[in-house]
A and B are shown apart, each in its own frame.
Chain A
């Protein structure tokens, strides 16, 4: 501790700040989550395995994590595009578009789900045209993807936007002077500086998509083995008063999510290695 006592700072208060942080995180995150683990620990090993590794549950993991990763990937791609357009160009209604980006945050998820299900159903505005090409979105795994993409959109846009705004035009000019073409300037000069922000946005969008329930269940169709997401299975178990089973599945989700997010964070740290 002597190490900390010696550093002089304009804003002291390491002790109370850390203490409060730990206290706060414990109340808000750690205690509820450990309750989850304790509850699932009431199961014996065979019971636990039966609860978390039954074919129907495993299929739901695949749907949930697969769709969430894919949705986060789509959001990373198009989020960068949206952020780019919002930062780089001036056009009529720019502020409106900017505000539109946050709407998926504000909308109650059930409203989003019902709206998406309607629009993408066989006779909906978009679904009608897709149906003509033989593409079914509503009540299929594709619908899950659409809902998860919808609710994850703001994350990448909002993390990448400030980074793009701070990018110096001189960097691009320097690249052009050195003979780089537009693609090389983007891919080798601009993109690597955006990458940490893109990864952060990706992680947030992914986390949100994994935990999403409200908007997905309305559009998913919820067919066991096909389009049933893990959160729905947990709710189903709860409705059957199988609290231990529900918490068991929840802890598996928690662990998987934690490791995926950890990986993304390590990737992000690696992509920022130049800043140290």
Chain B
């Protein structure tokens, strides 16, 4: 089931949550809506689900307009950030809920429901917890139950609103890998909202980067990460350093063209050296050195302008250099993306 969003706008009072957004989600794909809070990603997801009505624009499921159909009729599975499990029902009853509320003639028999629920419990690896209440489960378990509950009705579209947002880092990493594997198995068209770029890059087939109610860029994780279309996308997808200068948009062109431009460089694309080995290298002073797990983060100040700079070195390189605070070094950006100065992040 493909989803097509045609020129959707939505306002909440004075606040424009979505401004003329168009997007197509191909059938069977896992798409991430990525953006900071207030970027409109959750609103877009809720409009797809039918939990919110757009002020303008249409939603199509497989070419059929669903803009005005009730959420009940859209056959979407929705997973909420805070699980929204029915706390007075056991895990079993939660998962069975969607089947038991079907009209009598469509409702499967008791045995069939039981079979389906246990099939799903097996899928989420919680078979032994069928009789527990949600309050007795951990966060990760609850979210898996919520997912199973959404899948029980065989939805045409699976929508997940920050599904791992309320979980701790380790569980989150485990669950997103599990979601990826699950999606590879069941291939239901899925859209998930996240503000965590790492999550989007790791899980999604396609990433849609949103900002201030508009889509900044969409593409595969590699496309979006390697070829960011706007400074916003560049800075949202990772750590970034700015080099102000004059140049043309494109690859590095330091101080040739008379157009004010900003060079964007990822922290891990900055090389730190003791000797001047390349004419593009500039002098800088080491301000601070911090080891963060497998990486070493180095704060530097450029010698000419005093602008702050952050470099991420591997432990190996850092150990070899053995940088001291206050030391003078040369820094060289390996890869620079240049945008014209008037862009605002």
Question: Which chain A residues border B60 with CB–CB below 8 Å?
Answer: none
B88 touches A192 (CB 8 A): yes
Among residues 61 to 88 in chain B, which have CB atoms less than 8 Å away from a CB atom of chain A?
Answer: 70-72, 75-78, 80, 82, 84-88
Chain A 239-276 interface mask (CB, 8 Å, partner B; 1/0): 00000000000000000000000000000000001111
Tell me the residues in window 155-196 of chain A with beta carbons closer than 8 Å to chain B beta carbons: 168, 170-171, 173-181, 184, 188-189, 192-193
CA distance A273 to B134 in the complex (A): 12
- A178-B97, A180-B97, A274-B89 known; A170+B153 contact, CB < 8 A: no
Chain A residues positioned under 8 Å from B149 (CB to CB) = 174, 178
Which residues of B sit under 8 angstroms from A179, Cβ to Cβ? 72, 75, 98, 101-102, 153
A: residues with CB less than 8 A from B are 168, 170-171, 173-181, 184, 188-189, 192-193, 273-276
Report B146-171 residues with CB < 8 Å from chain A CB: 146, 149-150, 152-153
Q: With A178-B149, A178-B153, A275-B135 known to touch, is A184 a contact of B82 (CB < 8 Å)? A: no
Nearest B residue (CB) for A180: B101
Cα distance, A173 to B97, chains bound together (Å)? 13
Judge if B49 is at the interface, Cβ distance under 8 Å.
yes
Q: Is B232 an interface residue (CB 8 A)?
A: no
**Distance (Å) between the CB of A167 and the closest chain B CB?**
11
Give CA–CA (A5, B78) in the complex, Å: 48
B residues within 8 A CB of A184? 101
A177 touches B88 (CB 8 A): no
Which B residues are in CB contact (< 8 Å) with A171?
84, 86
The residue that A176 contacts in the complex, of B71, B82, B89, B152, with Cβ under 8 A, is B71
**A contact residues around B84 at 8 Å (CB):** 168, 170-171, 173-174
> A253 vs B102: C-alpha distance in the bound complex, in angstroms?
48
| Distance (whole angstroms) from the CB of B190 to the closest CB of chain A | 14
A176 to B73, CA, bound (A): 9
Tell me the minimal C-beta distance from B103 to chain A in angstroms. Answer: 9
Q: In the bound complex, do residue B135 and residue A173 qualify as a contact, i.e. CB atoms below 8 Å apart?
A: no
Q: Which residues of chain A are within 8 angstroms of B133 by Cβ–Cβ distance?
A: 273-276
Q: Are B88 and A176 in contact (CB under 8 A)?
A: no
Q: In the complex, given contacts A178-B150, A275-B87, what are 7 additional A-B residue pairs having Cβ atoms less than 8 angstroms apart?
A: A174-B80, A174-B84, A174-B146, A178-B149, A188-B101, A274-B134, A276-B133
Q: In the docked arrangement, what's the CA distance between A91 and B167, Å? A: 39
Q: Is B303 an interface residue (CB 8 A)?
A: no
Q: Mark B117-149, 1 if CB is under 8 A from A, else 0.
A: 000000000000000011100000000001001
Most chain B CB neighbours (cut-off 10 Å) among A176, A179, A189: A179
**Interface: B321 (CB within 8 A):** no
Bound CA span A171–B85, Å: 7
Tell me if B307 is interfacial: C-beta within 8 Å of chain A. no
**Scoring B residues 235 to 273 as 1 if CB is less than 8 Å from chain A, else 0, what string do you get?**
000000000000000000000000000000000000000
B51 within 8 A of A: yes
- Please tell me if the beta carbons of B101 and A177 are within 8 angstroms of each other in the complex: no
Q: How far is the CA of A180 from the CA of B97 in the complex (A)?
A: 9
A146→B89 CA distance, assembly (Å) = 37
